[in-house]
Amino acid sequence: MMRLVDSRGSSCSRSTARRVSLWLGSALACSSVLASAQEATFAVQAKKVLTGTGEAIDSAVVLVENGKIRAVGAGLAIPAGWTVHQHDGVVMPGMIDLGATLGGSELLENHESLTPDLRVAEGLDLWDPSFAAWLGAGVTSVYVIPPTGSVIPGSGAVVKTAGAAAQRIVAAEAGLEIGLNAGARRRDRAPTSVQGTALALRDLFGSPEAQASVQRAKRGELAVFAHADGVGEVRLAAQLAKELGWKARLVGPALPDQALAIARGAAIPLVLRPLDYGAEERTRRSYGALGATPHPLGFASLAQGGAEPGLRRGAALAVRAGLDPAIALRALTGGAAAMLGLEARLGTIAPGRDADLVWLDGDPLDLGTRIVAVFVDGKRADRGAEGH
């Protein structure tokens, strides 16, 4: 079978043309395949398609039309005149990072600790180089959040890591960020304690004059991403969610299995930090103990810019510790999209969804697997980056 994509020859997409002239300058060979990948309609024939719902289809075809997925399945008829791209590997949906601070250093209003009406979307630099790094790692959508340095640093936005500028912000106010963890508090600005944080939040959500975003969060129209580290903070998050009517997501618990025991009763989805190599045995066991839980899971790098999100690696390490691989994959894709309320657009390869696709040369949770190409809205967007 013809290998259609050469991992270095990927620099000719329209969306990256400007960068090409700036960064590379040299004439890398533009294969006809890649040029044609910018067409409005094309089909991908892959050895395996992971749809993001937990399903895997062998020898499948994905039909892409005007940046959306038209159909996916084995043995689909390809309309006459469509270009066909062969990929002798795996195609999966673009991954979703459920929390990273990309797009600038000025995203935290330091003066006060509760600033719920600040929107990260209004301070965001879409051409921050971190977006390209995330894209190269197969992440096509990021829930961009203010840095976790305040109790309510503001609301986060869902942003594509590539694509036409006008379409990159998928949701300008996708969730309200709330920090119950130590990183949200400072000694020289109220509240300085976790008890004080609880009281400040109860007062804010109890106030009829609270800001519009708080009112929306109270009505469950705006998801609350509650950052909690220790078990005590996790328990407080669940308690506040119940009291204050939050549609809550629990972000970054240090011991996910203990958080799960609390979150399950309260029906709160869990957003995990990627497991790292340096993690303690206790932490590793805790990730592993999640096993094949049906509880909604996602991953957030919680990175502040940087060279890579480490999402795929973190998920793979969690799988090595005992997390079910299908569960981990869903958490990176469809599960994460559902947590953002954007499952109709992101996270799965299904008719009508955005054609955000990642081509890999093997199992995504195998650390040796490379990312071969990344498509955003049906257009090849990576610059031939080696897989991260």
Task: Closer to another protein by CB, 180 or 217: give it.
Answer: 180
Nearer to another protein, 137 or 254 (CB): 254
Choice between 230 and 362, CB closer to another protein: 230
With CB under 8 A as the contact rule, the residue among 4, 72, 194, 337 that binds another protein is 194
> Nearest distance from residue 164's CB to another protein, in Å?
44
**Is 191 an interacting residue with respect to another protein (CB under 8 A)?**
yes
Q: Find the binding residues for another protein in span 257-286 (CB under 8 A).
A: 258, 261-262
Decide whether 261 or 326 has the Cβ nearer to another protein.
Answer: 261
Q: Cβ of residue 194: shortest distance to another protein, in angstroms? A: 4
- 56-64, 185-193, 273-281, 315-323 -> range binding another protein (CB under 8 A): 185-193
Is residue 261 classed exposed, middle or buried when 0-12, 13-18 and 19+ CB atoms within 10 A define those classes? middle
Strands of 68-74's sheet, edge to edge? 68-74, 56-65, 41-50, 83-93, 357-360, 371-376, 379-380
Asked if 235 is part of the footprint of another protein (rule: CB under 8 A), the reply reads yes
- Rounded CA-CA distance 87/97 in Å is 25
Residue given tokens 């997409």 in the structure block: 13
Residue from 187, 208, 209, 368 touching another protein (CB under 8 A): that is 187
Q: Is 232 in the site for another protein (CB under 8 A)?
A: yes
Q: Report if residue 293 touches another protein, rule: CB under 8 A.
A: no
Q: Count residues near another protein (CB under 8 A).
A: 25
Confirm or reject binding of residue 110 to another protein (CB under 8 A).
no
CB 99 within 8 A of CB 125: no
Instruction: Identify residues 144-163 at the interface with another protein (CB under 8 A).
Output: none
319: closest CA among 337, 333, 331? 331
Please tell me whether residue 255 binds another protein under the rule CB under 8 A: yes
Question: Exposed, middle or buried, 162 (CB in 10 Å: 0-12/13-18/19+)?
Answer: buried
Q: Is the dihedral of CA 105, 106, 110, 112 positive or negative?
A: negative
Is residue 28 involved in binding another protein (CB under 8 A)?
Answer: no
Contact 222, 216 (CB under 8 A): yes
For residue 290, give the nearest of 325, 247, 240 by alpha carbon. Answer: 325
Residues that bind another protein (CB under 8 A): 185, 187-196, 198-199, 203, 230-233, 235-236, 239, 255, 258, 261-262
